[in-house]
Amino acid sequence: MKFFFPTCLAVLAALSALLYWTLPERQGRLPVLYWVTQNDPVKRETIALFRDWLVAQGHPPVEVLIDNASQQKTGTTGEPKALIQGVSGMGGDLLDVYLNQMELFQATGMLMDVTNIAPRQGFGPDVTYPAIRTDLVLEGRQYGFPRNVDVTMCWVNRDTFARYGLPEPPARWTMDEFEERGRRFVAAANPPGSRKRVFFLNRVWPPTLRRGLGLSTYNETGTRCTLDDPRNVEVLKRIYRWTVEERLIPTVQEQEALAADASGWDSSFSLFATGRFAMIYEGLWALIRLRPKGDFQLSAVEPFSGDFPNTEIGCGVVSVYAGSKHPELALQFLRFLASEPFNLLVARSVDSLPVLPRYAKADDYHPHDHPGEWAAKDAFAKAGREIGIAASKSPFVLPSIVFRSDNEAIEAMLAGRMTPEEAAHAAASRVNTEIALRVQQDPTLRQRFKERMKIQQQIEARRAAGRPVPAAWISDPFHLAYYRAHGWLETEAAP
């Protein structure tokens, strides 16, 4: 026994030395960037292209390793492991930051502020889609650059419409048109005695419908949830009618049954390919799932709307960890994301729209072996340029709470436990209660809330008087786009 502990200590020391000397940076003698992202073919090809690009730019080589594990959620709290590691000083050099994570990561101080560097190195917010600016820039400061950009559209299975002798929907259409065409479709596709229900569309996205009527989730400054507005009640009434009465889209229970019938989470794409859904509401990335389903005729049309055509646009952002050991190399990676090689890769991969809009006109965006996709891909690019609007967010409430409150109220309405009016009021009340609690508990938020409330009062006073409003007063991306479209903003300088 007297040799047991010394022997264990010697073995542990040897293993530690072995681990140290087998680290990538010790083996290859190259600097290593750790990228917290998914490990998939596109990411691996991105890394290979980055190496080649560095050489072409006259920079020394660098190793980039994917850290997929740090994307996982932790325990019962649900925070990404990357957040815990970053706060503790052990973050990856490059961090994939997804929708609604930017504010959380930035609040901890773990993201590098690239505001002054980015324009000089060619990856400022002005080189990508203007509509995604709020995904990159918080309170006037830039914290990353997108690696993908996507909008959501209605994918159309042209073969399904042809099967029932019905015309395909137009590129732009209203909610009334959706309802009328949907009735005709389900009547033709589900004659008496049909064993399997065929639906017009797999799902709807309430925020897009509300925006079509001029309503956002919040007011102009994000200080109040506005889901109790009569326009939301109108949207909820339509969703109830389409789902329960006319059965144009499936209920949650029907979705679950269809998923079981079509093998798992890929079910919507399988059901779309086989004609059980005439349309699906998804992003451009859906092509990754649709191509293996076989050759069938596709097109894409804008989401049906009210008087204000719109769709949601968003992006996956790559940010530099503030504690990176190789900050200059990490910044080169962001610069690479704005390069031609990377944008042509995105154009070929159908993972999303190219980060720089001009590459949606490149030959690589129109693959010669998939000519049936060209019209649909052009429709996505056009929507990204013309009607895409980023998700509305408020610094005073977690997005997950808003989504859950809205979704639970809608489900209660569809189940008959609430009227549309009650559902709208319940969602707004819950979110506004949460805003009040967070503002009360956080002195920093309390001061920001007071400042924004003053601005909100000024906005409402100007609107009541019929006077234009400074664009800088409006923090909600939908309201900014809506005001601009209606000429309600003070004259803006030409870009």
Q: What is the mean pLDDT of residues 294-315?
A: 94
Rounded to whole angstroms, the Cα distance separating 440 from 273 reads 51
Q: Tokens 């949601």: give the residue.
A: 312
Dihedral pair phi/psi, residue 356, rounded to 5°: -95, 120
pLDDT in tens, 370-415: 888 899 999 999 999 999 999 999 999 988 899 999 999 999 999 9
pLDDT above 70 covers a percentage of the chain that reads 88
Evaluated on CA atoms 461, 464, 465, 467, the torsion sign reads positive
Question: Out of 19-33, 177-191, 289-303, 356-370, which region has the weakest mean confidence (pLDDT)?
Answer: 19-33
Evaluated on CA atoms 413, 415, 418, 419, the torsion sign reads positive
Rounded to whole angstroms, the Cα distance separating 377 from 375 reads 6
Closest CA to 383 of 313, 314, 287: 313
**Mean model confidence pLDDT for the chain:** 89
pLDDT in tens, 44-97: 999 999 999 999 999 999 999 999 875 555 544 455 555 556 555 557 999 999
Q: What is the mean pLDDT of residues 264-269?
A: 75
Rounded to whole angstroms, the Cα distance separating 245 from 249 reads 10
Evaluated on CA atoms 53, 59, 60, 66, the torsion sign reads negative
pLDDT in tens, 172-210: 999 999 999 999 999 999 999 888 899 999 999 999 999
Cα-Cα-Cα-Cα torsion 84, 100, 452, 211, nearest 10 degrees, comes to: -170
Residue 441 has pLDDT above 70, yes or no: yes
Q: Bridge partners of 319?
A: 95
Structural domains of the chain ordered from first start: 18-147+314-368 (3.40.190.10)
Task: Please tell me which residue, 74 or 217, carries the higher pLDDT value.
Answer: 217
pLDDT above 90 covers a percentage of the chain that reads 76
Q: What is the mean pLDDT of residues 429-454?
A: 96
pLDDT in tens, 140-164: 999 999 999 999 999 999 999 999 9
